[in-house]
Structure 1
Amino acid sequence: MQTIGEAAAELGIEAHVLRHWEDVGALTVRRDGNGYRIYDDNALEQARTVLKLRRVGLSLPEVIAAMAPKKRAAQAVVRAKIAALESEVVRTQQAITFLQHTVECRHRYLDDCPECAHFVREV
């Protein structure tokens, strides 16, 4: 059993983040008789899951959906995030290819280069 401060320190985040996650429904934490949050093993594991999902790019609404009890709904959110990340990877690779060419381009101005013009039109 840990306090919110201890749990936050273990997770490497601020206590207000844990409170916010609880407020929006991404985290469920028990309270003691005085109303203080108690972070048991289950709450810590749930917080670790929320933290990991946030770090891989899911928004809090997506985290909540991904942690839904219905697997089909959770999988749909995760599949959508995978598709978005894959699209981002493609865009990033295209940007790298274009920038590598501009570094190696023999033309003084990008407008003078047929390959650069081709990259520009590919938008």
Structure 2
Amino acid sequence: MKTIGEVAAELGVEAHVLRHWEQVGALTVRRDGNGYRLYDDTAVEQARTVLKLRRVGLSLPEVVAAMAPKKSAAQAVVRAKIAALEDEIARRRQAITFLRHAVECRHRYLDECPDCSSFVSDA
């Protein structure tokens, strides 16, 4: 069994983050007779999973849904996040294409360039 401070240090987060995760339902932690949180191996692994999901971009409500007992509900959330990330990648690639063109553009001002103008209208 570990204390909240030990788990926070192990995961590299502040204790208040673990309390918040518990408050929103992303983490389940046992309490001792005095009300202190006690993290068993299952709770630590659950916290580690929450952290991983947060680091890949899921919001806390998405994390809670992704950790739902019903696998189909969890998969739906993860699939939606994958689609959102793929859309973001496509937008970033378009931005890179535009910026590469802007660097090489022969026009003094980008608004004089038909290619640059078409990029802005497509965005």
Normalising by structure 1, we get a TM-score of: 0.97
For 2:34, the equivalent position in structure 1 comes to 34
Deviation for aligned residue 1:60: 0.7
Taking only the aligned residue pairs, the percentage that are identical comes to 81
Quote the residue 1:58 is aligned against: 58
| Root mean square deviation, CA, Å | 0.8
User: How far apart are the structure 1 equivalents of 2:116 and 2:58?
Assistant: 35
Opposite residue 79 of structure 1, the aligned amino acid is R
Equivalence for 1:105 = 105
Which residue matches 2:83?
83
Consecutive unaligned residues of structure 2, counting only runs of 5 or more, are none
- Per-residue CA deviations over 1:23-76 (Å, capped at 9, x if unaligned) read 111000011122111111100000000001011111111000000000000000
Matched AA of 2:36: Y
What is the number of residues matched between the two proteins? 123
TM-score w.r.t. the length of structure 2 is 0.97
| In 2: Cα distance, 1:39 partner to 1:23 partner | 15
Partners in 2 of 1:92 and 1:80 — Cα distance? 18
Q: Stretches of 4+ moved more than 3 A in 1?
A: none
2:76 counterpart of 1:92:
no
